[in-house]
Structure 1
Amino acid sequence: MTFFDISRKMLRANFRRYRLYFLGNVFSLVLFYSFAAIFTNQAFMNPKSVNSYISSNIYAPSLFVGIFFVLFIPYSYQQFMKLRQHDYGILMTMGMSETEVLTNMLLEQCLIAGISLLAGLLLGTLIAFVFYFVIQHVIGVSGLHWYFNVESYQWTALLYGLTILFTLVMSVIGFKKMELIDLIKEKFRGERKRKSSRGQLIFGVILVSVSVPMMLIGYVQANSVLWLEISFGVILAGSGFILAQVETLDNVWAKIIPGFRDHHFLGIAFNRQHAGSRSRIGIIAAWLVGFCVFFAGSTGIMYQALTKDAISNSPYDLVYSQIFGKNQVADRNIVNLLAQNGVTVQGVKQVDYLRNGVYNLLPLSEVNKEFGTSYQIPQGEFLTVFQFDFQDGYRHDLTSPSTVGFDCGQETMELKSAGSDVRILFNRNPTLADRNLVLNDADYRKIAGQSSDFWAGILKLYSFKQWQNSGKGIAAVQNYLLEKNRVDKPVQQRYYWATSRVESYTLAQQSAEFLLFVMFFVEVLFCAAANIMIHFKIKAEGEEEQRLLSGLCRLGVTAEEMLTMIRHKNIYYFMPQVIAGLFMGSLYGYAVNEFYGYGWQAAGYSLLIGLGLAALQFVMVLRYSRRELLGFGL
């Protein structure tokens, strides 16, 4: 029997010990491929098929999944090798060379990686079908269709291959630095004892406390992103100190709760055996849960925010422009067509305008009459109107030109700025330029009559009795205009499309639902990753824990007492990061979303979801602890 045969038998005999690594790889591959199948879909990413307002929401979740992918697989392999190195140490004492060990290790990893890749892509393809079905039939993004997309498989395989290559290189480097005796002892290596430090715990609490006013004053009040970043760094450092000394809470409970130390002395003793490594995992898990709670609260208000923005940016129920000889239809025809489809028109406005590649020029008298403004603009000046909503969560450029020159035949008319105003006068429309200038009527007429740089158009603005059920009528109007203009539909959509409130609302609704859907998977991923990392840690300590429990069993410790000890230990493993993540996620959910008026709502959603997650986690800890004890067979 060769050393390779012995190693293979060791692996097969202990496969249950290593299956978490395999399942972790498959889990990561499935999640990444599910997103890759969407962001590599040419139809979905094509703005002619799916509006970029929706498709752009795939980038951030895909980035988070990719980051998790390249971090989680090396970590799971490290836990896998911690157990496997003991086997290699035994084989080397029997005469197996280092080269043979490394060859066997590489072949073994490549075999597991290959099987994981095939299983992950196969299962990921099935999950991608679910993604496509929900996005297309539930959310209503009809432009998304499944097809055999080789690029998605290539991206997933490439990222996985690079991650495995990096993992193997670091593993080989670490292996060559270890002595033979270290390999044999690796599985049974105890942690360096460290004393608990109440001072570090207090220092961590101080840092967390200081980060709160930093964020509230520096970011929420002063609107400084720098202070948000500083506050975030401080709270991460503070939470690290707290979680690194969380076992010192046993001393606090012992002073507050009579008999606590006597009832939990076994759990307290075992809890401190792995305090050092547990704190490192706990910090990472806390950050993962914190991101999960933050995104859960933020996406919870996203639906309301996006649909509200869609309505505020569309003050009229139907808008189209008569320009370049297109959309030349009578108002009565549009009104009758809408009436045939159950839509009652309450009013129709029209505003003359001029446009070039940069500016829309609007006459002062018509703006004041149709939009209810009271602008006063002297001849020779202009007013810049920014059609922004400061509560939409975006930063807007409010820089207006000081002067603008207009070519009026033999002379250039130069107007100076009379200031600016921020007000949404009418819906966005593809026939309009980006910037709006309101001019004195005399200046407007002169430019209209003498300038060859501007095209003249008429903006039609319709108001309905009820816009919510106007979708069918809007579709009929779009088809009617397309027929009259005699252009291809892509040309109509790009230049002459009629914009409407119901279409803007539907688009925002689909965008919010799509974002909620994909972020749900990211949040589940973060929570699962936090718990899987801790589960890996507990499994790595399983044999040591079993020896300790076996000794206690021989001393007469009952199964219920051992269960109490395991519960005490697992509560410290699983619960602190949930509490820390709940605090961080809710706090920064408030800060970030307060910028556009949804701070308390986001914090409320984060708290509600975080408390539900904490309750679920606690129930799972109780069940997990009992299963852990049963797994020892005591």
Structure 2
Amino acid sequence: MVNFRRYRQYFLCNVFSIVLFYCFAAIFTNQAFMDPKSVNSYISSNVWAPSLFVGIFLVTFIPYSYQQFMKLRKHEYGILMTMGMSEREVLVNMLLEQCVTAGISLLSGLFLGTLAAFVFYFVIQHGIGVTGLRWYFNPASYKWTALLYGLTILFTLVMSVLGFKKTDLIDLIKDKFRGEKNRKSKRGRFISGVVLAAVSVPMMILGYVYANSGLWFVISLIFMFAGSGLIIAQVESLDDFWTKVIPGFREGHFLGISFNRQHAKSQVRISIIAAWLLGFCIFFAGSCVVMYPALTKDAIRNSPYDLEYSQIFSKNQVTDSDIASLLAQNGVSVRTVKQVDYLRNGAFNLLPLSEVNEEFGCNYHIPEGKFLMVFQSDLQDGYKHYFSSPSTVGFDCGRDKMELKSVGSDVRILFNRNPTLADHTLVLNDTDYKTIAAVRTDYSKGIIKLYSFGNWQDSGKGIAAVQKYLLEKNRVDQSIQQRYYRATSRIESYTLAKQSAEFLLFVMLFAEILFCAASNIMIQFKIKAEAEKEQRILFGLYRLGVTAEEMLAMIRHKNIYYYMPQVITGLFIGSFYGYAVNEFYGFGWQAAVYSLIIGSGLTALQFVVVLRYSRRELLGFGFFQ
């Protein structure tokens, strides 16, 4: 029964890791999801970051869980070797045992991962509205999951065999009962950790936020990782502090203090991993809450007109009255209709000065022989913008060549982004515009149609009807219409941004819940590995007259040190990097506040769970009826 519990714990850890990674592999290997023709890249790009973290988690969590599992098995192998079992037989048995467990875990994980992926897809398709995503049998997702898991198991086995061959027989027998050497807390290391963590803060803020250097971001992470590791490694020194402050503290918690001292070394590694897992959760939780309204506001600002299409290349040749009538049939009232003549080639849109000033309310002054470059960007969107304007632009006017010089540039959103338009926009004096339009050696002439509605929030059906009408009129393949001639609208931009934000929230929520569970599972695995030793100590104390309530206080103290330091560390890491990374986009303090709120709630929840878990742990030893 004892061995069954050990195998079950290790098996569940493997299955949990496989299910977690497969859910994301089923998304990023889905051809429809990663194809911008089916799902906008604005949405699909949000899956890469959590997939990377999930992959890192799998390759670190499985070796750790196997190490804890083997710590319990080494004693049994040592006993078998004293009874005549050879080292070769032990290694063969170890390899066979691991391969069978890994094979069953992989099959079970892929099966459960497939079921979880169904739910994943259902929520994305029906809850979020990403209709271009369909589930299908995708061998690539199974291949990548099996490949990563197989390589992880291979690495784990190699390291385990090498470690086993270096271990003496007597050490195998004693390993189950051996605790780590008691050690004194080293104040110097704790102070060094605080200094490293403190230094990482100005590195991040000055280097990444203000100097815009990704290198400083990496250096800051390294310093913060080292600093948090040193701090967590000396966290048991708090026992000395509480002993000096609270009378009778050591006597009331000596079991917890003993476990903290004996297992501090092995606890450091999982505490650091758990701290960064929780820090990742808190960071992305705060960032996602900030990103949701930011994305939707950006979409509205970047789409000043409720409907826009271009009449060019003999396409979209429809009348304003037809469009207005079609919209009215779908409950959309047209308030104004504007139109602007333009010329375009592969690089530039050319607009006449008079129409730009009249239709867009501008006050540009451009003499003959000059041009003004307009960058259609929103300076308030929180992103860094780099603008480069050519000093001269040449035009082929038959036998003559025309060269216009720049009078500068302006940053202003004149109209929506549209696939029919070129990437760069130049405003020309009317005389120069007419000269180029009369020849049009390498420029095509068109008209931009711009509609404003009285109720754009309810224009979804009307826009869909217009898109269908334009497709029928143009008589081209739907993919061609979508890529080159489709109309753009505010409601579609808003809906896309909303879906992107909702998808990001859902994916991050899914990853964060599992990562929080993973950090607790890692610690619980360690507690289970020490359960037999802990139970022997408790029975000895029970015979000496220590009450169950006193033992509960000891276990609570031990579990608080096992579970809480990483939550508090993760709270600081997540909130700080939430501020620093989002300050780069202008949302630093908002992200930091949300991260603190979410992290504080997680800390309080963790504390309550630890108290309840401690009572259940003692109940499992049979001391409470």
TM-score by length of 1: 0.95
* CA pair 302-105 structure 1, distance change in 2 beyond 3 A: same
Q: CA deviation at 1:259?
A: 4.0
Q: Does 1:343 align with 2:332?
A: yes
Task: Look up the equivalent residue of 2:418 and give its one-letter code.
Answer: N
Alignment of 1:547-586 (within 5 A): 547-586=536-575
Task: Look up the equivalent residue of 1:423 and give its one-letter code.
Answer: R
Q: CA deviation at 1:523?
A: 1.0
Unaligned runs of 5+ in 2: none
Rounded to whole Å, the distance in 2 between the matches of 1:240 and 1:628 is 28
Rounded to whole Å, the distance in 2 between the matches of 1:110 and 1:531 is 26
Q: CA deviation at 1:186?
A: 1.8
In the alignment of these two chains, the number of paired residues is 623
Question: Aligned to 1:615, which of 593, 604, 614?
Answer: 604
Alignment of 1:214-613 (within 5 A): 214-613=203-602
Rounded to whole Å, the distance in 2 between the matches of 1:86 and 1:247 is 28
Rounded to whole Å, the distance in 2 between the matches of 1:218 and 1:325 is 52
Q: CA deviation at 1:217?
A: 4.0
What secondary structure does 1:272 align onto? helix
Rounded to whole Å, the distance in 1 between the matches of 2:322 and 2:405 is 42
Question: Aligned to 2:10, which of 9, 21, 32?
Answer: 21
The residue that corresponds to 1:78 in the other structure is: 67
* CA pair 328-63 structure 1, distance change in 2 beyond 3 A: same
Q: CA deviation at 1:581?
A: 0.5
What secondary structure does 2:504 align onto? helix
Question: Aligned to 1:165, which of 148, 151, 154?
Answer: 154
Rounded to whole Å, the distance in 1 between the matches of 2:178 and 2:138 is 47
Alpha-carbon deviations, 1:350-398, whole Å to 9, x = none? Answer: 1111111111111122112211222222322222211112343444331
* CA pair 266-25 structure 1, distance change in 2 beyond 3 A: closer
Alpha-carbon deviations, 1:231-251, whole Å to 9, x = none? Answer: 333322222221111111122
Task: Look up the equivalent residue of 2:295 and give its one-letter code.
Answer: L
Question: Aligned to 1:205, which of 194, 200, 212?
Answer: 194
Unaligned runs of 5+ in 1: 1-11
Rounded to whole Å, the distance in 2 between the matches of 1:266 and 1:534 is 18
The residue that corresponds to 1:148 in the other structure is: 137
Rounded to whole Å, the distance in 2 between the matches of 1:182 and 1:389 is 67
Alignment of 1:41-80 (within 5 A): 41-80=30-69
Q: CA deviation at 1:258?
A: 4.2
Alpha-carbon deviations, 1:290-317, whole Å to 9, x = none? Answer: 1110011111122111111111110110
Rounded to whole Å, the distance in 1 between the matches of 2:620 and 2:388 is 68
Q: Does 1:36 align with 2:25?
A: yes
Judge which range, 297-306 or 462-471, deviates more: 297-306
Alpha-carbon deviations, 1:117-149, whole Å to 9, x = none? Answer: 111111111111111111111111112222222
Alpha-carbon deviations, 1:564-619, whole Å to 9, x = none? Answer: 01100110110011011101101111111122232222112211111111111111
* CA pair 474-229 structure 1, distance change in 2 beyond 3 A: same
The residue that corresponds to 1:4 in the other structure is: none
What secondary structure does 2:407 align onto? strand
Q: CA deviation at 1:516?
A: 1.0
What secondary structure does 1:390 align onto? coil
What secondary structure does 1:401 align onto? coil
Rounded to whole Å, the distance in 2 between the matches of 1:217 and 1:38 is 37
Rounded to whole Å, the distance in 1 between the matches of 2:220 and 2:165 is 41
Q: CA deviation at 1:221?
A: 4.3
Asked if the contact 1:390–1:596 (Cα under 8 Å) also holds between the matched residues in 2, the reply is no
Task: Look up the equivalent residue of 2:158 and give its one-letter code.
Answer: V
Rounded to whole Å, the distance in 1 between the matches of 2:176 and 2:253 is 27
Asked if the contact 1:391–1:595 (Cα under 8 Å) also holds between the matched residues in 2, the reply is no
Judge which range, 193-202 or 348-357, deviates more: 193-202
Task: Look up the equivalent residue of 2:470 and give its one-letter code.
Answer: L
Judge which range, 144-153 or 312-321, deviates more: 144-153
Rounded to whole Å, the distance in 2 between the matches of 1:553 and 1:61 is 47
Rounded to whole Å, the distance in 2 between the matches of 1:178 and 1:268 is 29
Judge which range, 113-122 or 211-220, deviates more: 211-220
The residue that corresponds to 1:3 in the other structure is: none
Rounded to whole Å, the distance in 1 between the matches of 2:86 and 2:164 is 13
Judge which range, 289-298 or 83-92, deviates more: 83-92
Rounded to whole Å, the distance in 2 between the matches of 1:526 and 1:472 is 40
Asked if the contact 2:209–2:584 (Cα under 8 Å) also holds between the matched residues in 1, the reply is yes
* CA pair 114-434 structure 1, distance change in 2 beyond 3 A: same
Q: CA deviation at 1:13?
A: 5.6
Asked if the contact 2:75–2:175 (Cα under 8 Å) also holds between the matched residues in 1, the reply is yes
Task: Look up the equivalent residue of 1:201 and give its one-letter code.
Answer: F
Q: CA deviation at 1:478?
A: 1.0
Q: CA deviation at 1:346?
A: 1.2
Q: Does 1:191 align with 2:155?
A: no
Q: CA deviation at 1:562?
A: 0.9
Judge which range, 35-44 or 123-132, deviates more: 35-44
Rounded to whole Å, the distance in 2 between the matches of 1:234 and 1:457 is 57
Task: Look up the equivalent residue of 1:329 and give its one-letter code.
Answer: V
Rounded to whole Å, the distance in 2 between the matches of 1:525 and 1:403 is 56
Rounded to whole Å, the distance in 2 between the matches of 1:602 and 1:430 is 34
The residue that corresponds to 2:84 in the other structure is: 95
What secondary structure does 2:402 align onto? strand
Alignment of 1:109-124 (within 5 A): 109-124=98-113
* CA pair 378-255 structure 1, distance change in 2 beyond 3 A: farther
Q: CA deviation at 1:223?
A: 4.2
What secondary structure does 1:461 align onto? strand
Alpha-carbon deviations, 1:146-182, whole Å to 9, x = none? Answer: 2222222222222222221121122112222222222
Asked if the contact 1:135–1:514 (Cα under 8 Å) also holds between the matched residues in 2, the reply is yes
Judge which range, 387-396 or 481-490, deviates more: 387-396
Alpha-carbon deviations, 1:395-452, whole Å to 9, x = none? Answer: 4331222222111111222222222222111100010111111222222222212231
Task: Look up the equivalent residue of 1:117 and give its one-letter code.
Answer: L
